[in-house]
Chain A
Amino acid sequence: MSERIPIKKTYKLFLGGVFPRSESGRTYEAEGQNVARASRKDVRDAVRAARAAQPGWAAATAYNRGQVLYRLAEMVEARMPEFAELCTGRDEVERSIDRIVWYAGWADKLPQVLGGSNPVAGPYFNFTVPEPTGVVAVLAPDDPPLLALVSRVLPALVGGNAVVAVASEQRPLAAVELAEAIATSDVPGGVVNLLTGFRAELAPVLASHMDVNALDLAGADGLAPELERLAADNVKRVVHGSPDSQSPWEITSFLELKTVWHPIGR
C-alpha cells in the first residue's frame, strides 16, 4: 500500500469575504510555499470591498460586534496546531487569542470610556460619541507574524472600521490562516481584507488612496516618511502602531469623536 498523497493548500488573498488569486496572476515564494503576490489593482479592489462593507459593520450593535469578534477567538483556538506551526509557536497563538477576546470585550464599552455628555454653558444637551474613521490600512510588521497582525487589526476592527491589511512579507502564511478563521467567524465579507505580497509595492497605493481614512505604519520600516507624505493627500490619520501592545488607546487611533448639540426647552 502506498502512503496517501496529501492535498496541498493554495495560498490566496482574502478580499471581499472570498479567496481570490491575485488578479495579476503573480505569486512569490515564502516559507516554502507559493503565495499570492497582490497587485496595485488588488489593493484598490480591497479598498472598494472595505468601503462597501464598513457601514454595515459600524451599524451592527456593539454587542453584536463583540460577539462576532469573540467568535473569531473561538475559530483561532480551534486551529491552534495549524497556527502554532505558522508562527513562533503555541505561546504566540495563545496570546493572540487572548488579545482577540480582550478587544472583543471593548466593543460595547468604548463610548462610555471615551465619550459622554459635556456641560455646556447654555440650555443645550451636548454629548460626544466615538465613531469609526472608516477604512483603515494596516501594514503588518514582519514579526511576530500572527500576534503583530492581530495586535494591529483588532483595534481598528472593534471600533467599527473595515480593514485592508498587508501581511508579513517574509512570513505571510499565518495571515492566510487568520483569513480562514475570519471567514468562518461571522465577520461580514469585506470588513477584513488580507493581502500578501511585496510591501514596498503595495504600501504606497494604500498611503495615497483617497478612500482610505487611516494608515497604520506598524510594519512600514524605512518606507514610513514617504508613506506619511503620501497620506497627506487626503489628510489620513497616520498611526505608528506597536507590534505588541494591548490598550484601548490603540482603538482610539482609529476613531473620530462626534459631538451633537440640541436645545433644551419646554
Chain B
Amino acid sequence: MTEIDRTGDRAPAPADWTYAPAPESRDVVKLRERYGLYVGGEWLEPSETYETISPASEETLAVVGQATAEDVDRAVAAARAAFENGWSSLPGSERAKYLFRIARILQERARELAVLESLNGGKPIKESRDVDLPLAAAHFFYYAGWADKLEYAFPNRRPRPVGVAGQIIPWNFPLLMLAWKIAPALACGNTVVLKPAETTPLTALLFCDVLRQAELPPGVVNIVTGDGRTGAALVEHDGVDKIAFTGSTEVGKAIQRRLAGTGKKLTLELGGKAANVVFDDCALDQAVEGIVNGIYFNQGHVCCAGSRLLVQESIYEPLVDKLRRRLETLRVGEPLDKNTDVGAINSAVQLEKIRELVESGREEGADIYQPPCRLPEKGYWFAPTVFTNVAQSYRIAQEEIFGPVLSVLTFRTPDEAVEKANNTPYGLSAGVWTEKGSRILWMAQQLRAGVVWANTYNRFDPTSPFGGYKESGFGREGGLHGLEPYLRFDG
C-alpha cells in the first residue's frame, strides 16, 4: 500500500504530493520539417523562412515561410483568379457542401489538430480539445448552412460577395480564429488570403491538408505565414477588397489609418479590459469559478478576459479568500498534460510584456498574490497572479495585459460599478454576478460592451455575435450578423 492509501482521503495530502503525469500523446501529429506558403492549392517555396517553436519547451517544431510582399501578391492573385473562375458564381448550396466537408474533417482530425494547437501555442490540451476544436468545427457547420440562405438573412438587399478577403488572425486561438474568419467569408462567396499569427502558424498549415481532403478548389483559401511585415503587405495590397483583423488595438488603429480613403471594407476585433462585476448577492462559489475561468482561461491570452474584477465592498474579504484558495489548486505546466489548467505563455515577447506590466503594478502600489507553484525551467511561464489594492489609474487597471493577471477593485453601489466598468477606452466584454434578475438586465443595459456574460463567463458559440464597442473594434463575428462584413448589397 502506498502512503496515501493508508492515510485515507480525509488526511491532509503530503507536502510534495502531486498528480501523476497524464500526457496526451504527440504521436497523432506528423509534422514536416519545413512548410511553404499555401497559394493556389499548392505549396509555394518561400524566399525567407523562420523557425516556429513550442513555447513550453522552446524546441523548434518546423521551419515556415516568412511571406514577402511578392508572395502576398501571388496569394492575392490566386484568390482573385479563384473568385472569378467559379467560386463566386458557384451556387450557395454547392459552396455549403465544401464547408460541411471541412467541418466534418475538422471533427475527424480533432485530436491531431488539438495536440498541434497546444504544442505550437502552449495552451492546455483540455482547452484545445474541449473548446477550440469543437467550436472551430461548429463554426464551419453553422456558416455552411447560411451559404444558400443569404437572401433570407438580408431580405430585399440582394447580397453579393465582396471579393478577396485579407484576414489577419492572432495567436491566442489560432485555429478557432481561422474558422471565425474563413467560414463566413467562404459561405458568402468570397475567396481568402489568411495570415496566421507569427508564433502559431502550424494548425493553419495543417488546415491546408484539411482543405486538400475537402477538395476545395485551388485558390479559394490561401495561407501566407509571416510576421507583421506580411500582414502589412496584405493590408496594403490593392487587390484585396476587405480586411478582417483580430489583434491589438494599436495595430488595429494603424490598419484603419492605412485603409483611409481606399474604400476597402474593414472589420476590427481588438483589445479589451473587461470588468467582471460581482455583487454581494451573487452565488459566491459560482462567481469564484467564473472569475477564475474569466481570467486564467488560456493563460489570460483572451481579448475578452475578465481582467478587472469589480467586487462589492461587503463581500470583498470572503471573495478574495476563496479566490486565493482556488488559485492554489490551479495546475500550471506542460500544455499536453490533461490535468493542466494553465499552460505556457505564448512567446518570450508576450512573457516580457506581462512581466513589465506586473512590475508596474507593484511599483504603483498594488498588492500582489501568486500561489506557490513550480514552473518548468525551459519555456515561457507565468504564475496566476492577483493584484489587490488597485486604483483605477494604475496601468494594470487600464492596459490590456493579455496574461494570467487579475486586478481587483471594489465598489459600493450599482451606479459606481457601472461607472468603473465603463471607465476604459475598450468595450469588448463584461461579466455580471448577481442572483437578482432585474439587476442583471439593468447591468446588461448599462455596460458598454459587445458581449455581456451574466452568471457565466467566456462562453462562445457560432450563433452568437461577438465584437466590441469603442476602441475594441467594429463589426461582429458569429451569428447572422457575422455575415454582413463579407457581403455587399445591391439593394
What is A's interface to B at a CB cutoff of 8 Å? 118-122, 124, 126, 128, 133, 213, 224-226, 228-229, 231-235, 237, 249, 256-263
Contacts and interface: CB of A to CB of B under 8 A. Distances in A.
Given A122-B459, A124-B459, A235 B454 contact: no
Contact of A259 (B259, B465, B470): B465
Nearest to A128: B465
Contacts of A124: 456, 459
Contacts of B268: 235
B464 A249 contact: no
Contacts of A128: 464-465, 479, 481
B415 to A, nearest CB: 12
Contact of B450 (A121, A226, A237, A257): A257
Interface stretch (B58-66, B202-210, B249-257): B249-257
B157 interface: yes
Contact of B444 (A133, A237, A258): A258
Contacts of A224: 261
Contacts of A226: 260-261
B478 to A, nearest CB: 8
Given A229-B257, A235-B471, A258-B450, 19 more contacts: A121-B138, A121-B463, A225-B260, A225-B261, A231-B256, A232-B253, A232-B254, A232-B260, A233-B253, A235-B249, A235-B256, A257-B476, A258-B449, A259-B464, A259-B479, A260-B451, A260-B453, A261-B451, A262-B454
Interface of B: 138, 157, 249, 252-254, 256-257, 259-261, 268, 270, 425, 440, 444, 449-456, 459, 461, 463-467, 469-474, 476, 479, 481, 489
12 contacts: A119-B463, A128-B464, A225-B260, A226-B261, A232-B254, A232-B256, A257-B467, A257-B481, A258-B452, A259-B450, A259-B479, A260-B454
A198 B476 CA distance: 36
A52 to B, nearest CB: 15
Contacts of A257: 450, 465, 467, 476, 481
A228 B461 contact: no
Contacts of B476: 257
B479 A118 contact: yes
Contacts of A228: 256, 259-261
Closest 8 CB pairs of A and B: A225-B261, A228-B260, A232-B256, A120-B461, A229-B260, A232-B257, A118-B463, A262-B454
Chain A interface, >50% SS class: mixed
Given A118-B465, A225-B261, A262 B451 contact: no
A25 to B, nearest CB: 34
Contacts of B260: 225-226, 228-229, 231-232
A124 B459 CA distance: 9
B49 to A, nearest CB: 33
A110 to B, nearest CB: 14
A130 to B, nearest CB: 10
A126 B461 contact: yes
Contacts of A237: 474
Contacts of A118: 461, 463-465, 479
A262 B451 CA distance: 11
Nearest to A234: B471
Nearest to B257: A232
Nearest to A240: B263
